[in-house]
């Protein structure tokens, strides 16, 4: 992600250009859950103007799409959201809250209608 920010700003770290006023501006810690791996903690860099968005991690997503699909399949097979929360703690090392399960299932009615 640091390399991606370097390409976005068109200069290396600590390199100054007189015509450009956008620079690196620290970053924040983020966690992302991958299927088969578990939870990853990363540092997401920021620019001063707030225009940079990384393509590596989707913004405001906490887990990958494949994991969301698996949660939907388990939910449709009759596993309760509370049990999914407990299962995710054991398998992934991170609890996926019942609200996150509900959010991942919001697309189900649209998928059924399209089918």
Cβ distance 22 to 74 under 8 Å? Answer: no
Q: What is the dihedral sign for C-alpha 73, 94, 99, 57?
A: negative
Alpha-carbon gap, residue 57 to 82, rounded angstroms: 27
Report, as an integer, the average pLDDT of 20-47. Answer: 83
pTM, full prediction: 0.60
Question: How confident is the model over 45-82, as pLDDT tens digits?
Answer: 988 888 888 888 877 777 788 888 888 888 888 888 88
């Amino acid at each position: 992600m640091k390399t991606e920010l370097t390409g976005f700003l068109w200069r290396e770290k600590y390199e100054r250009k007189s015509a450009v006023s956008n620079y690196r501006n620290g970053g924040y810690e983020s966690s992302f859950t991958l299927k088969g791996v578990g939870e990853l903690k990363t540092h997401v860099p920021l620019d001063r103007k707030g225009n940079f968005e990384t393509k590596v991690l989707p913004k405001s997503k906490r887990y990958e799409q494949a994991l969301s699909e698996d949660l939907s399949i388990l939910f449709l097979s009759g596993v309760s959201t509370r049990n999914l929360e407990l299962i995710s703690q054991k398998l992934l090392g991170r609890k996926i809250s019942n609200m996150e399960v509900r959010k991942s299932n919001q697309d189900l009615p649209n998928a059924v209608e399209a089918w």
